[in-house]
Amino acid sequence: MPPETRAKVLVVEDSQTNLDILMRLLGDYDVMAALDGPTALEILERELPDVILLDIVMPGMDGYEVCKRIKQRPDWQGIPILFITGKTDEPSIVHAFDVGGSDYVAKPFRSKELLARVRIQVEYRRAMDTLRTMAVTDALTGLPNRRAFFADGLPLFNEARALGHPLAAMMLDIDHFKRINDRYGHACGDEVLRRVGGVLRDLVSARELCARVGGEEFALLVPEPETGLALALAERLRNRIESLVVETLGGEPIATTASIGLAWIGPETQTLDDLMAQADDQLYRAKRAGRNQVCSTCRPESPPLRPQTAPPAGTAPESARSPRPGHGV
């Protein structure tokens, strides 16, 4: 494998002889090794492999128990586990799958079979990672999508409510976007969206959350340790978007501006949907006032409040389930 695509494999095997053989066979991978279950769990705390090769019969913590503990951790449970075992009776193999194993190789293992099964699990893991990324990413801008925004935004909102920390929400809408599509075509409209997404990626820090939430609308959550930080960010975004140079294929410039609504969490803000609705109200206010400007609520001083209860498993917040119609104006 080329160096940039080398997968990581964790081998957990209590026999040093077998471990040495496996490490030689897996020379095309970056291999981590553990002689027992507890050591394997310690390695996982530091680094996540693409695949785990796991012996079943080990002293102390056996492979079944190691697998169960791995699958109990949300950040580990997606790692495929390939059991390597001399226990080939049907109950043992069935139990291996029951505790979360993805596949197994019988000892004494055959080199080509082992490598083929490892390769399949690596490909599966990478395919699943790609699908997960696609599920939470806006394909046009590369920003998180609406579902990701509300999933990641709820913990930020709850922390701010519980601790009384300031938190600002923004709704940003590209002005006259329907007119851009109608006059220049959707390909030019898409380019405007990509360029605005690039501005957000450039100016929004890692501790802040931004996403394209629908049409020409973008949403942000800004933890605000200093008064005025969110307002200054909103104004920088507005300025940068106004200065974008976007041209048609014929070289005609496309004037691009954005209106931004800004709201802060306060005692009356019960849910993340409430906060985003307040920012949306301010966005409409900016539109009515002439566009290409920032409008905001007053920043409140709020005491600690109880966090919002997460929606039941398998459901999304109301805003994620029923998007507001795009402003398009």
Quote the percentage of the chain above a pLDDT of 70.
89
pLDDT of residue 316: 47
Give me the mean pLDDT over the 190-214 stretch: 96
**Model pLDDT, residue 306:** 42
Examine the pLDDT at 19 and tell me if it is beyond 80: yes
Number of H helices, E strands in the chain: 11, 12
* Residue 87 to residue 106: CA distance in whole angstroms: 7
Pairing label, strands 30-34, 8-12? parallel
In which band, very low, low, confident or very high, does the pLDDT at 323 lie, cut at 50, 70 and 90?
Answer: very low
Choose the weakest-confidence range: 65-79, 81-95, 218-232, 266-280.
Answer: 218-232
**Which CA distances in Å does 286 have to 167, 237, 291, 319?**
20, 15, 5, 21
What is the distance of C-alpha 102 from the center of its chain?
A: 24
Torsion of CA 243, 248, 250, 253, to 10 degrees: -30
**What's the mean pLDDT in 186-203?**
97
Q: What share of the chain in percent tops pLDDT 90? A: 84
CATH superfamily label, 146-321 = Reverse transcriptase/Diguanylate cyclase domain (3.30.70.270)
**Residue 159 DSSP class:** H
The catalytic residue positions are 216
Residue 127 has pLDDT above 60, yes or no: yes
Whether 45 shows a pLDDT value over 60: the answer reads yes
Q: Residue 270 and residue 163: Cα distance in Å, rounded?
A: 14
| Mean pLDDT for the stretch of residues 177-199 | 96
What's residue 308's pLDDT?
Answer: 55
Question: What pLDDT score was predicted for residue 329?
Answer: 63
The conformational region for residue 3 under phi > 0 = left, psi -120 to 50 = alpha, else beta, is alpha
Strand order, beta sheet including 81-85: 30-34, 8-12, 51-55, 81-85, 103-106
Residue 312 pLDDT:
46
Q: Cβ(234)–Cβ(222) under 8 Å?
A: no
- pLDDT of 11 over the 90 cut: yes
**Domain limits, the chain:** 3-133, 146-321
pLDDT of 177 above 70: yes
Residue 172's DSSP bridge partners are 218, 260
Give the mean model confidence (pLDDT) for residues 203-218. Answer: 96
The whole-model pTM stands at 0.76
In this prediction, residue 224 has a pLDDT band, given cuts at 50, 70 and 90, of confident
- What is the predicted pLDDT for the residue at 228? 83
How confident is the model at residue 327, as a pLDDT?
55
What CATH number labels 3-133?
Answer: 3.40.50.2300
Taking only the tens place, the pLDDT of each residue in 233-282 is 999 999 999 999 999 989 999 999 999 999 999 988 999 999 999 999 99
User: Is residue 114 helix, strand or coil?
Assistant: helix
What's the 3-state SS for 190-232? HHHHHHHHHHHHHHCCCCCEEEEEECCEEEEEEECCCCCHHHH
Using pLDDT thresholds of 50, 70 and 90, give the confidence band for residue 302. Answer: very low
Work out the widest C-alpha separation in the chain, in whole angstroms.
Answer: 76
Give the pLDDT confidence of 132-162 residue by residue, as tens digits.
Answer: 999 999 999 999 999 999 999 999 999 999 9
Q: Which of 2-16, 29-43, 163-177 has the lowest mean pLDDT?
A: 2-16
Q: Which pLDDT score is estimated for 298? A: 79
Cα dist from 307 to 45, 160, 163, 272, 310, whole Å: 29, 8, 9, 10, 9
Mean pLDDT of the chain: 90
